[in-house]
Amino acid sequence: MTILKTAGLTKKFGDFAALDGVDIEVGKGEVYGFIGPNGAGKSTTIRVLLGILKATEGQATIFGKDVWKDAVGIHKRVAYVPGDVNLWPNLTGGEVIDLFIKLRGGNNKSRREELIRRFDLDPSKKCRTYSKGNRQKVALVAALSSDADLYILDEPTSGLDPLMERVFQECVREAKAEGKSILLSSHILSEVEQLCDKVAIIRQGKIIEKGTLKELRHLTGTMLLVETKEPMPNLAEVKGVQGIEQKDGALSFQVDQEELDHVVRYVSGFGIIRMESAPPTLEELFMRHYEGTGTGGAL
């Protein structure tokens, strides 16, 4: 069942197209990773989904309802954590959490206390004194303690320490186990790899790749690290081999999935001493796209 869907979503700020035909689709119980470098358009997409920005063109629906027209109705079942969490300097974290829970229309005291404990947050401090990570915790506690059907999280871990990131990941897994859907934007690839069922990669407002992690890896093949007795002078000419690099006496390269058998046969002819294979990380996948299009935009 589709929970969230956009079709040809375009957002222009003046002449500048921040989003250019974005299509994504989040199904029920899915964790959907939305990754891209800074300025790619992740937050803009999410703001359109929340009815805070109005799309220039295209459709976006959540729970089958239009995100602009039915914003209030949709938001009763959505929990959101913004990318930059700015809070009111003169309210305490505890007050803000209560306010957020109430504005969504829920009330779950025990869950609130549990999350405050797990995230190790001091709710009696004024928001003015909170670091970026602590402000993010406030937004996360408020979002996660609500009983929503869809969680929209915009780079929620960018200020958290590794320990808290683990807590966050547990929470996401719990939510998924309860059948909740999650749209998780990030530029931290390992996070997306660990949590997400599906991924869309956005760059300069365009979705350049999407699918399940498995599908995306299929596109890029397997990484091989091989050390042989005799040198392999013509490896570069073998079909399906790319990106050869020297690594302490061994060669590392990428092999297209359909040529794997053929390549391994070729390599074994030179006397294998050591051979390691691994699926490419999202990072490598990402880098390949940047190399393909020249100027990248920093991660």
Partner 1 sequence: MTNQLFSGTGSLSRFILRRDRIRIPIWILSFVFATVATAVAFIGLYENAQERQAIASTMGNPAMTAMVGPGYGLANYTSGAMMAHQMLLMTAVVVGLMSVLLVIRHTRTDEEEGRIEMVRSLPVGRLSNVAATLLVLFLVNIVLAILTGVSLYALNIESMELEGSLLYGAALGATGMIFASLTAVCAQLSHNARSAMGLSIGILLLAYIVRAIGDVGSEAVAWLSPLGWIVRSEVYVNNIWWPVLMTVGAAVVFGGLAMYLNSIRDLGAGFLPARAGKIHASPLLLSPFGLAFRLQRTGFIAWAISMYVLGASYGSVMGDMESFFADVDLMQDLLVPMEGFSLVEQFVPTLMAVMTIIATIPVLMAVLKVRGEEKNDRIEHVLGRAVSRNRLLGSYLLISLIASFVMISLAGLGLGTVADAVMEEGFDIGMAYQAALAYLPAVWAMIGVAVLLIGWLPKLTGFIWLYLSFSFFVIYLGSLFQLPEWVEKTTPFGYVSAIPLEQFDWLQAIVLTTVAILLIVIGFVGYNKRDIGK
Ligand X SMILES: Nc1ncnc2c1ncn2[C@@H]1O[C@H](COP(=O)(O)OP(=O)(O)O)[C@@H](O)[C@H]1O
- 36 contacts ligand X (rule: CB under 6 A): yes
53: contact with partner 1 by CB under 8 A: yes
Spatial distance between the Cα atoms of 53 and 268, rounded to a whole number of angstroms: 58
Structure tokens at 146: 């609500």
* Contact with ligand X (CB under 6 A) among 39, 58, 94, 296: 39
Phi (first) and psi of residue 88, to 5 degrees:
-80, 120
8 CB burial (10 A radius; 0-12, 13-18, 19+): middle
In angstroms, give the least distance from the CB of 275 to partner 1: 49
Q: Are strands 65-66 and 78-81 parallel, antiparallel or unpaired?
A: unpaired
Q: Which is nearer to ligand X, 83 or 106 (CB)?
A: 83
Which residues face 212 on adjacent strands?
A: 198
The item of ligand X, partner 1, Mg ion, none sharing an interface with residue 131, based on CB under 5 to 8 Å by kind, is none
If the CB atoms of residues 125 and 288 are measured against partner 1, the closer one turns out to be 125
Instruction: Considering only the stretches 117-125, 208-216, 234-242, 248-256, report the one whose residues sit in contact with partner 1 under the rule CB under 8 A.
Output: 117-125
The correct pick among 13, 105, 179, 242 for binding ligand X (CB under 6 A) is: 13
Note whether 37 binds Mg ion by CB under 5 A. no
Angle between helix 132-144 and 93-104 (nearest 10): 30
E strand intervals along the chain: 2-13, 16-22, 25-27, 31-35, 57-62, 65-66, 78-81, 150-154, 181-186, 198-203, 206-212, 222-228, 241-247, 250-255, 272-278
Residue 18 sits in the site that holds ligand X (CB under 6 A): yes
Binding of residue 203 to ligand X (CB under 6 A): no
Residues 32-51 that bind partner 1 (CB under 8 A): 47, 50-51
Sheet with 241-247, side-by-side order of all strands: 241-247, 250-255, 222-228, 272-278
Which DSSP symbol is given to 5? E
Binding string, residues 238-277; x marks residues near partner 1 by CB under 8 A: ----------------------------------------
Binding residue for ligand X (CB under 6 A) from 4, 33, 43, 184? 43
Per-residue mark of binding to partner 1, 118-157 (x: CB under 8 A)? -----xxxx-x----------x------------------
Give the pairing of strands 198-203 and 31-35.
parallel
List the one residue from 43, 45, 146, 204 that touches Mg ion (CB under 5 A).
Answer: 43
C-beta of residue 198 within 8 angstroms of C-beta of residue 33: yes
Residue 38 touching ligand X (CB under 6 A): yes
Residues that bind ligand X (CB under 6 A): 13, 16, 18, 36, 38-44, 83
